């Protein structure tokens, strides 16, 4: 259920160049799914990694986050945005022309005395839920990213690449195969975490 694709397909689905991916990987600006910092199999990427890369780019362009900050948010908040993807996919099956307003929001907080950098909060959920969560906060500005917009960009990229995406990238709780889906995620995370990249040759004894 965790479908993966070779690097060339991944690049086409994300609409980035090979050199760009290499550069982002070197400076920790490449966003991957499931909280992973590397793929489980060299040269192969999950379709959910495509969602992660596009999401990080959109956060970078529209919320004021630097690209590395955006990649960190995507990695750290993987459970939250994966749940939004799950809900958005099922919403669009019922209401294909409407946006469910499921968002990731970056709320930049007002400066306080002694601060050298502006702080921000990351919030995920329904647009109205996020508004309520921020009530009473000292906010400078809030930028919303619709997860439906991210999924739409992925499917547009797939059409341009002549690649057929599965109808769903996720399995929701209560659906057939959900337990297997969660097991696959845990197994993938273990494989990705176990893959060690050697940075220098071993010193002879």
Could you tell me if residue 19 is left (phi over 0), alpha (psi between -120 and 50 degrees) or otherwise beta?
alpha
Model pLDDT, residue 196: 41
Alpha helices by DSSP H, listed for 5-146, are: 7-14, 18-26, 47-62, 67-76, 78-94, 127-133
pLDDT at 197 over 60: no
- Dump pLDDT digits (tens) for 152-181: 999 999 999 999 999 999 999 999 999 999
* pLDDT level of residue 117 (50, 70, 90 thresholds): confident
Task: Give the mean pLDDT of 177-194.
Answer: 94
Distances 5 to 12, 114, 167, 190 between C-alpha atoms, Å: 11, 48, 16, 19
Q: What is the largest CA-CA distance in the chain?
A: 66
| Least reliable range by pLDDT among 77-86, 94-103, 111-120 | 111-120
Give the span between the Cα atoms of 146 and 173, in whole angstroms.
22
Average pLDDT over residues 182-202: 73
Write down the pLDDT at residue 140: 87
Domain boundary assignment for the chain: 4-99+147-194
Task: Give the pLDDT of residue 1.
Answer: 78
- Nearest one of 67, 160, 169, 64 to 107, comparing CA atoms: 64
- Closest-CA residue to 70 (of 25, 116, 122): 122
What is the reported pLDDT for 195? 56
């Amino acid at each position: 259920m965790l479908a993966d694709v070779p690097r060339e397909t991944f690049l086409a689905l994300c609409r980035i160049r090979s050199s760009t991916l290499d550069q982002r990987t070197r400076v920790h600006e490449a966003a991957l799914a499931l909280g992973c910092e590397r793929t489980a199999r060299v040269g192969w990427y999950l379709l959910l990694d495509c969602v992660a890369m596009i999401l990080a780019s959109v956060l970078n362009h529209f919320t004021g986050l630097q690209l590395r900050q955006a990649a960190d948010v995507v990695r750290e908040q993987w459970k939250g945005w994966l749940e939004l993807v799950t809900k958005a996919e099922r919403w669009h099956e019922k209401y294909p022309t409407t946006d469910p307003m499921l968002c990731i929001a970056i709320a930049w907080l007002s400066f306080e005395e002694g601060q050298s950098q502006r702080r921000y909060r990351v919030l995920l959920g329904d647009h109205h839920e996020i508004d309520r969560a921020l009530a009473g906060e000292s906010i400078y500005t809030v930028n919303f990213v619709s997860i439906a917009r991210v999924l739409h960009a992925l499917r547009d990229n797939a059409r341009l690449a002549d690649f057929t995406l599965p109808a769903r990238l996720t399995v929701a709780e209560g659906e057939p195969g959900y337990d297997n889906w969660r097991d696959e995620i845990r197994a993938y995370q273990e494989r990705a975490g176990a893959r060690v990249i050697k940075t220098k040759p071993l010193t002879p004894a």
